[in-house]
Amino acid sequence: MTSTDGLQRRTVLAGALAGTAALAVPVLEPTPAAAAGPGLSPQSAARLVHGTDGSAVQMPAELGALLRVGAFAAGAVVTIRYDERIYSAAPTAVLVSGDRVIPVRAAATAGQVSLQLPQLPAGSYTVRAGGLVRDRYPADLITDPLPTTVKVSEPGGAVTAQTLSKPAVKAGLPWGVQLGAGWLQAAWSDQYYAWYPATVTVYSVGPGAIPAGSRIRVTLDGVVFGSVAVSAASDSLGHKVNGLPRRTSVVGRPVATWTAPAAIPAGMRITLTCTTVARKLKGALDWVEPPLVDFLPPKAGRDAQRLTTQESLTRMDDVYSVATRARFGPVS
């Protein structure tokens, strides 16, 4: 990587914007400044892009950077190279400085976007040239992602470049969960009913195991149900699983929580049996809170979680009034 004194005096490209790659990760980690050619130093937050082999790379999420200039002649070019499986170039590129939005000329080719900058007064400018390709599960793991690099070329010939992505220091094997449920009706007055999950299934999609300490939470309506509990758990082979059940309430709604005592290997399915106590009711109700089953990951291992979009379940077809009965039908 090379630089001239002119570029050192005039241009500092401070790093890419924060964001996420195909694998969403809940906690942002700052990317420390790395040794680089003069004038360029990444300083943005980064998130992990996972591969099927357990490798992970810290990647900036937007095709962009923070550009600091002291005095800047027209004609400088910012070139960003990227992996097309992770990013896509935007139809238009802009510089943002405070309330100012400055369109810039951009040329995009396979895996590269080049921005020709106008003359700029001294200040800081956010370069925005693209965003993420949000591949969903199961196409969310990226094998050998290409590095993300940014280069500044000034009219006088000065060039400085920096690789903004880097291998993750520590990353767990990616894992994910898919919830399922077997629903039953709690009925009253021979006309009305509310759904509840009689069983909940927890499937480990891999390639890593669902971490120990993960929780499944079942929340029901407090007018219809007096309590809910996880009364049994078994694995794919029919063996009993001694999890940690707990019963609480949230704003008058009964809640049952089951905590996995050990990691759940890829390909394993845990089945939870739910037991409820329904209240004695008469007539129509003004409202029934829909049932909710959700997955709560532990803090440890959360960065490696794959998002399957099946981390929570609900249904909106309870029949508790004349209107909902006309819409969803009688008790089955």
Q: Is the pLDDT of residue 124 over 90?
A: no
Q: Is the pLDDT of residue 237 over 90?
A: yes
Pairing of strands 149-153, 159-163: antiparallel
Report the percent of the chain where pLDDT is more than 70: 85
73 and 156 co-located in one domain:
yes
Residue 172 within a domain: no
Which residue range(s) make up the domain with 196? 177-328
129 and 222 co-located in one domain:
no
245 and 105 co-located in one domain:
no
Q: Which of 188, 187, 190, 277 is nearest to 231 (CA)?
A: 277
CA torsion angle 36 38 44 45 (round to 10): 20
- The pLDDT of residue 331 is 83
152 and 239 co-located in one domain:
no
Of 85-99, 144-158, 263-277, the one with minimum mean pLDDT is 144-158
222 and 267 co-located in one domain:
yes
- The pLDDT of residue 44 is 58
Q: Is the pLDDT of residue 23 over 90?
A: no
Q: Of 118, 149, 167, which residue is a domain's last? A: 167
d(CA 138, CA 224) in angstroms, rounded, equals: 38
248 and 162 co-located in one domain:
no
Which residue has better confidence, 166 or 221?
A: 221
- The pLDDT of residue 136 is 84
Q: What is the CATH number of the domain that holds 207?
A: 2.60.40
149 and 13 co-located in one domain:
yes
138 and 266 co-located in one domain:
no
Of 118-122, 156-160, 228-232, the one with minimum mean pLDDT is 156-160
Type and span of the H or E element at 56: strand 56-59
pLDDT category of residue 190 using cuts at 50, 70 and 90: very high
- Could you report the per-residue pLDDT of 253-278, keeping only the tens digit for each? 999 999 999 999 999 999 999 999 99
Residue 2 within a domain: no
Domain count, the chain: 2
In terms of Cβ atoms closer than 10 Å to its own Cβ (0-12, 13-18, 19+), residue 327 is exposed
40 and 104 co-located in one domain:
yes
- Average pLDDT rounded to a whole number, residues 124-134: 84
**Residue 93 bridge partners (DSSP):** 104
- The pLDDT of residue 59 is 85
d(CA 222, CA 12) in angstroms, rounded, equals: 58
